[in-house]
Amino acid sequence: MVMVLAMAVLGACAGGSARDEAALAVGGATEVAQVVLNGGAASPQPAVAPAEASGPVGSAAAPQPAVAPAEASGPVGSVAATQPVVAPAEASEPVAAAFATPPPTATPTLPPTATPTATPEPLLQTIQLTEGGCCTQPFWSPDSQEVRFIDKPATDQPVGIWGVSLAAPLAAPRFVTDRLEESTASPRYLIETGGDTTVIERRSDGQRWAVPAGGRNVLISPNETRIAWTVTNSDAPSSDQVTALWLANLDGSAARQIATLPRGGLGGWIDDDTLLISSRESLAAREQILATLALADGAVTELVRAERLRGQVLSPSGGWLVYYITFDPDAAKNGLWMVSTDGAHSIQLADELFGSYQWRPCPERCTSEEDRLVIVPMQPDAPLHWLMELAPGSGEVRQLSDPAVTPFKIANGDWRISPDGRYVAFVESSDHNIWVMALGER
């Protein structure tokens, strides 16, 4: 079956030239972030899905939310701002080879294809949050109580982050900050990148320190003790790009290169001691490989390989990975897939579940049993959208909303689940305003 995937659309805020100016001023600050990057670490906050929920992009990779209040002591001294792309530093941990020989591969079991069951929940409440065609690419405050967006409401108002509280729908948006990096911040840390400098700011006390990532984004480990980032020769043609994977303590000390990844990247932290990486066996290899890298001994375990892997996103627990494959010569491989990050289980979703997707967060860090994937099925001719939810641990699929009782249609794939997993904010296609829907119980 040939599936036509819609390209992600970066919508401009409606409302006149002032908002058009804001979109130009912001540039790519809110573009869709790929989870496995070819030339940089993932953005710390998930991004929106593609146009009209017509193809799976899901949330972008983010450093997993903090779970332990391990306060860093701050900077411990200055370190170099840039690193060589491929020349390894002296490291106390092994440097992973770039799949020069086949790595250990977990043999997955293949449960039956996950198939939806028609079990819609009661009527889900929807609330109109903004009016006047405002705005696009919504995201959430860390406490899930405010929906925010980048805007310039009028010529005499600043470009910045604006927000509307769930408690005051249709109220005039309030100005939050002109620090646009807040749109990709984690609840406990803010990461600033500019020029050759990367700075981490701890929200609890405002303490700031530079780390040796050379102006690149970093991903913070779940226990908040280490950071990882990538350095790529991005000026080379994509077919010749090599990514160096770096690791350091949260304060920037003990920085060292730990892997070299031909045409690869960093997908995120699976747990405190394991990273998700992508690579190829060589620069000339056609297949992309997704694998886990154990920091303790450098062991690499392959999860999946294919020529056209797309949309890979780690679950909140780090226990599952969702991705899709398109236009593979073996048609049986095409479609939406999940694999457990221990490599033990692989699930192909039914064709009717193919669509836009995001993981549903938990109020605290999810366990693998609590992971849930929310899907907007791709039905190009359907006048309305609906939500499905898959529990990968059990394979259970349930319908969260019924268009007959909760009618809505998402514009340009523009939707985002709140950090506590209770709500979804979306741009409604009929009026281009931001609406919020409660997702009900897990």
| Pairwise CA distance, residues 53 & 384, whole Å | 11
| Pairwise CA distance, residues 209 & 228, whole Å | 16
The total number of structural domains in the chain stands at 1
Query: Over 90: is that where the pLDDT of 211 sits?
Result: yes
Summary mean pLDDT of the chain: 80
Distances (CA, A) of 186 to 200, 204, 303, 375: 11, 12, 27, 24
Percent of the chain with pLDDT over 90: 66
Q: Which of 58-62, 134-138, 273-277, 330-334 has the lowest mean pLDDT?
A: 58-62
| Pairwise CA distance, residues 309 & 289, whole Å | 9
* pLDDT for 148: 97
Structural domain includes residue 156: yes
Q: What is the mean pLDDT of residues 34-48?
A: 34
The residues pairing with 276 across neighbouring beta strands, listed in sequence order, are 268, 292
* pLDDT for 182: 85
| Pairwise CA distance, residues 239 & 245, whole Å | 18
| Pairwise CA distance, residues 132 & 141, whole Å | 22
DSSP string for residues in 346-401: EEEBPGGG-EEEEEE--SSPPPTTT-EEEEEE--TT-SS---EEEETTTTEEEE--
Q: What are phi and psi of 423, to 5 degrees?
A: -135, 160
Q: Which of 47-56, 195-204, 340-349, 431-440 has the lowest mean pLDDT?
A: 47-56
Which CATH number does the domain housing residue 174 bear?
2.140.10
Residue among 350, 300, 296, 292 at smallest CA distance from 321: 292
Structural domain includes residue 389: yes
User: Are 200 and 248 in contact, with CB atoms under 8 Å apart?
Assistant: no
User: Are 187 and 139 in contact, with CB atoms under 8 Å apart?
Assistant: no
Question: How far is CA 136 from its chain centroid?
Answer: 18
Structural domain includes residue 98: yes
More confidently predicted of 318 and 88: 318
pLDDT in tens, 320-338: 999 999 999 999 999 999 9
Structural domain includes residue 1: no
Domain with 240 in it: 17-63+79-438
User: Are 307 and 328 in contact, with CB atoms under 8 Å apart?
Assistant: yes
In the chain, the amino acid numbered 172 is: A
Structural domain includes residue 372: yes
Structural domain includes residue 10: no
Structural domain includes residue 210: yes
Distances (CA, A) of 378 to 4, 124, 204, 322, 349: 10, 21, 41, 16, 13
Structural domain includes residue 71: no
Number of Cβ atoms within 10 Å of the Cβ of 109: 11
pLDDT in tens, 17-27: 333 333 333 33
Query: Over 70: is that where the pLDDT of 286 sits?
Result: yes
* pLDDT for 117: 52
| Pairwise CA distance, residues 417 & 325, whole Å | 24
